[in-house]
Structure 1
Amino acid sequence: MTQQSIGLTGFGGYIPRLRLQRKSIAQANAWVAPNFLGKGKGERSMANWDEDSVTMAVEAARDLLGPDDDRSHVDGLFFGSTTMPFTDRLNAGIIAAALTLDEKVRAVDVASTQRAGTSALLRAITSVKAGETKHAVVLAADHRKTRAASAQELDFGDGAAALSVGTENIIAKYLGGTSLTVDFVDHFRGTGEEFDYNWEERWIRDEGFTKIVPRAVKAALEDSGTNGSDIKHFILPTTFGTKFAEQLAKASGIAPEAARDTLAANCGETGAAHSLVMLVHALQTDVKPGDKIMVVNFGGGCDALVFEATDKLATQAGKRGIVGSLAAGHPETNYMKFLTFNGLVEWEKGMRAEQDKKTALTTLYRNEDMIMGLVGGRCTETGVVQFPRSRISVNPNNHTVDTQEPYKFAERKAKILSWSADFLSASMNPPNHYGMVVFDEGGRIMMDFTDIEQGTVDSGMEVRLVFRIKDFDEVRGFRRYFWKAVPITNSNAKTSQAAE
């Protein structure tokens, strides 16, 4: 009996729009860390104040799944991250709600290791192979806090990647792989701690990467029946640079030129997501049908997976992915904004911010599809759509009762009807932009705006909707999510075009 092929069937990616210039970090900290001045080159991705690992994963998943809001085929969701916003709440469940997936979806969080992304991918492959799921989505995202004036502040970045795993329309066939578990502690973050504690770099490089990675590569090559000389693309996230990845490739019997760019110059290392971020970037750029790809991820051991691209890869040409996200970056030079967005400085928010933001969890549950999935209603008799949905239609000429069916707004085209830029209300990034958004196919919603610069908003502008943090309940440690509108200006038009 011939074994059924399993592999990647699609990809998506998301890198936040803001790109903090490393020169700004170096100059701000030159008084205490003058050695940073020589490292102040390029830029790192920077999440907006209302973004976290969950919201970035949602955006990567939307890129993967496309604008079709029928996602009933997805029966597995595996989310890998070391910076999940909730320690005891299914973070993958939040993502599933935002994507309006069926409640029967198998949703799993994979955490506590830099290998979370590849571990989630291996778990999805195993699930599909066993017949537990047919169409699994793998998401990886990280948004790590760093101490000011630390090397990690320069090296790290924020981002997410998405892959789908199945047995049909495979774009990259899974040939085999391995997972080594070695309790080599290069860094750690204890319970309740905000920052990683990092060990000495030379020890990590010489005793960790140099000795553990080649063992994993060798085992993966054997499991996949592949020779090192056959690998055309060698993916290894490391803050030690692409040259170091080339050295490890050579030591493992793989051509040094197969080592992929680590995207350090214009993105930074996105933690548990970075192996998949680099994989998506490779699939979008240089990979050709027949090319063999090795994905290696170090952390508490090492994962190594081997794929072979197929001619179906061309079907992904329209995706935004990592390439589109990187192209749509907006330079940020305000280092204080970076510190503020990441909660690294105490600042005066004003009396208007002094309010209890307790979330009524009963209301959230009863209206979950409306709040998390932006699902409104459509009258089955008149065709009128509305948000929120209600028992009685808003149609002024025919107030039908109990005739509404669920109607998803998140992927619909919309424009700004009216707007305001408010300096008086409490805002993490003043002025607070909000306004009335009207949808091309009917319906209107009053929404907050995000990812926008002052003076670039106007009525009639097209918007795209994004899933973001609405506000924080700092007293209870809860964060509330909802959808926001991103006006399509010149600075983010590339993102919108790529998404379409």
Structure 2
Amino acid sequence: MVGIAAWGAYAPRLRLSRKAAATANAWVAPNLMGKAKGERSMANWDEDALTMAVEAGRDALGPGDDRSAIDSLYFASTTAPFADRLNAGVVAAALTLEKQLSATDVTGSQRCGLTALAQAWIAVAGGGAAQSLVIAADHRRARAASAQELDFGDGAAAFLITPDGGAAEVLGYGVVTDDFVDHFRSADQEFDYSWEERWIRDEGIAKLVPPVIAKALATAKVEASAVTHFCFPSTFAGMAATLAKGAGIPAEAVRDNLASTLGETGCAHALVMLAHTLEQAKPGDLILVAQFGQGAEAMLLKVGEGVAAARPARGVTGSLADRKEETNYLKFLFFNGLVEWEKGMRAEKDNKTALTTLYRNSDQILGLVGGRCRETGVVQYPRTRISVAPNNPAVDTQDPYKFADRTATILTWSADFLTYSMSPPNHYGTVVFEGGGRIFMDITDVEQGDVETGMAVRMAFRLKEVDEKRGFRRYFWKAVPDRTANAQALAAE
């Protein structure tokens, strides 16, 4: 019964209008107007593969404080920000997982999302792990006026694998590794170089994917005609339907690849499609998910009785609903570092990070863990040796207290056009938490006029600053409007 016990997903709120992007580039690439339909997810300037991974992981794990049962983490990405720093370690710290866990970065191929899921399943099935958390996230950059710019999307998905996963049980698995180079990106390059579409489609996908589908079905002793849902990410129109027809999978089983609403989220997309399927599937359904990249992998799962209870608070469905159309193509270019722009003198400062301070205060900075006084119950951030409790400044009486999933509201705020910001005005203010505690912090995913005193907010793990001189990224938590809670409050008035 080893399988999925819980899952989650995340996509940025911004959605770049493909029509706006194609129109802006029509003078140089009129062929792109053929792709000017729908929208793609667009990361904010302070989002990357790590921040999206953390948000997907939070969605999968829920708000509970106890995460001690998770003893392994697999983070899959082809766009992780650090080449020689354990990216999975940053994710683990932000999710406040135990330090005694095994954390692994999985990368190097567009199928590494499904690879990570398979490795976690094998580890739990073999007794090498009690519970494994798998997260895949990608934030791919593409050249301006390219087809990839419109095809790509940003997003993440997460799955918790346990010995008795009640949401979906893994029945079969197939894999093949073959150095078929459909595209590549060298270590010193920023963008992918892709080969000719017909070659990739006919010689690559059409020949490498069917055998792994057959293998997954054969090991599970399941006929292709019994498959209820078939997930295969591809930017080639009709590719999944062609594979399904060749394998004997019913045409109605082919899942929407979310191309028109989300775009292709890289190595995470097979898992994003799987997450979306689980949100709509019924117990007993059979889900076949496959992914291509220097070979191929396929996994067959049977939906369990616990699937309804395991559905996440946000998931893919919630991410698709929480959207804001962005028609400013120039903003997309700025946020992705595709243009050189004048930032002004206020941006001219040294952003060197004190690594000693980061290490000593890792749980407070990356995990947003404060303190709660055992004697008075007073909650505070940051955690200090001396309690801030009135009339009782006790020493060394504080236990760790997690703020990241606490309900909060805006007490004071400012929209500042004078300070440097990637998305002016720069919003910041004092956030008050239910149960005690307040933090002065940035407010993100807002525009001028969006913020009000008393507005409900939630915490989001985001990029704080980039040290461009040394190539280091500093992360912290920011306040994001809780639009569902604010809408409910408005309706109740």
Fold shared per TM-score above 0.5 = yes
Looking at structure 2, the residues matched to 489 and 369 of structure 1 have their Cα atoms a distance apart, in angstroms, of 28
Match of 2:447 among 432, 453, 466: 453
Name 2:274's counterpart in structure 1: 279
**Matches of residues 294-305 of structure 1 in structure 2 within 5 Å?**
294-305=288-299
Aligned-pair distance for 1:230?
1.1
SS at match of 1:58: helix
Name 2:109's counterpart in structure 1: 113
Structure-1 residue corresponding to 2:345: 351
2:77 corresponds in structure 1 to 81
Structure-to-structure mapping, 1:423-442, within 5 angstroms: 423-442=417-436
| Residue 292 to residue 62, structure 1, CA distance change in 2 (3 Å) | same
2:11 alignment partner in structure 1 = 15
Distance 1:105 1:396, change over 3 A: same
Whichever residue aligns with residue 61 of structure 2, its letter is L
Alignment of 1:360-375 (within 5 A): 360-375=354-369
Q: 1:390 corresponds to which letter in structure 2?
A: T
1:251 counterpart residue number: 246
Contact 2:15 2:325 (8 Å CA) reproduced: yes
Secondary structure of the equivalent of 1:311?
Answer: coil
RMSD of aligned residue pairs (Cα, Å): 1.2
Residue range with higher mean Cα deviation, 45-54 or 252-261: 252-261
Give SS of 1:282's match.
helix
- In 2, the alpha carbon distance for the partners of 1:154 and 1:235 equals 21
Amino acid at match of 1:382: T
Distance 2:383 2:242 in 1: 59
Q: Matched residue of 1:465: which SS?
A: strand
Are the structure 2 counterparts of residues 96 and 492 from structure 1 closer, same or farther at C-alpha, using a change threshold of 3 Å?
Answer: farther
Does the CA-based 8 Å contact 1:292-1:309 persist in structure 2? yes
1:413 aligns with 2:413: no
Letter in 1 for 2:51: T
| 1:244 shift after superposition | 2.3
**Cα separation, 2, equivalents of 1:46 and 1:157:** 6
2:151 maps to which of 141, 151, 155: 155
| Cα distance, 1:225 vs structure 2 | 1.3
- 1:395 offset after TM fit, Å? 1.7
TM-score, normalised by the number of residues in structure 1: 0.96
Which aligned pairs between 1:445-484 and structure 2 lie closer than 5 A?
445-484=439-478
Deviations 1:373-424 (A, max 9, x none): 0111111101101100111111231111111111111111111010000001
Task: List structure 1 runs of 4+ shifted beyond 6 angstroms.
Answer: none
CA gap 1:34/1:492 in 2 versus in 1, 3 angstroms: farther
Identify the match of residue 317 of structure 2 among 319, 323, 330. Answer: 323
Which residue in the other structure is 1:313 paired with?
Answer: 307
5+ residue gaps, structure 2: 489-493
Specify the code of the residue in structure 2 equivalent to 1:341. Answer: F
How far the C-alpha of 1:174 sits from its partner, in A, is 0.5
Query: Quick one: distance in 1 between partners of 2:68 and 2:483?
Result: 33
Asked if 2 retains the 8 angstrom alpha-carbon contact of 1:247 and 1:256, the reply is no
Counterpart of 2:442, as a letter, is D
Match of 2:262 among 249, 264, 267: 267
1:180 Cα offset (Å):
0.4
TM-superposed deviation, 1:349: 0.8
Aligned mate of 2:226, from 226, 230, 234: 230
- One-letter code aligned to 2:306: K
Alpha-carbon shift at residue 205 of structure 1 (Å)? 0.7
1:246–1:258 Cα contact (<8 Å) kept: no
Of 129, 138, 143 in structure 2, the residue corresponding to residue 142 of structure 1 is 138
Q: Deviations over 1:289-346 (max 9, x none)?
A: 1111111000000000000111111112453100110011110001000000000001
Q: Post-superposition shift, 1:192?
A: 1.6
Q: Does 1:337 align with 2:326?
A: no
Aligned length: 488
- In the alignment, what sits opposite 2:491? none
Aligned counterpart in structure 2 of residue 212 of structure 1, from 208, 214, 221 = 208
In the TM superposition, what whole-angstrom CA distance separates every residue of 1:243-271 from its partner, at most 9, and x where no partner exists?
22111101012112211111000000000
Code of the aligned partner of 1:135: Q
Q: Which residue of 2 aligns with 1:498?
A: none
**Partner amino acid, structure 1, of 2:308:** A
Amino acid paired to 2:252: E
Q: Name the SS of the counterpart of 1:364 in structure 2.
A: helix
Which range moved further: 69-78 or 365-374? 69-78
- 1:13 corresponds to which letter in structure 2? A
SS of match in other structure, 1:114: coil
Query: How far off its partner does 1:168 sit?
Result: 2.1
Secondary structure at the aligned position of 1:218 is classed as helix
Aligned to 1:64: 60
Cα distance in 2 between the residues matched to 1:404 and 1:204: 59
- How far 1:490 moved relative to its partner? 7.0
Aligned sequence identity (%) = 61
Measured in 1, the distance between the counterparts of 2:420 and 2:57 equals: 31
Q: Does 1:47 align with 2:47?
A: no
Q: Distance in 2 between matches of 1:357 and 1:309?
A: 48
Indicate if the aligned counterparts of 2:156 and 2:268 stay in contact, CA closer than 8 A: yes
Secondary structure of 1:229's partner?
Answer: helix
CA contact 1:456–1:489 (8 Å) conserved in 2: no
Contact 1:328 1:491 in 2 (8 A): no
Report SS of the residue matched to 2:306: helix
What SS does structure 2 have at the residue aligned with 1:239? coil
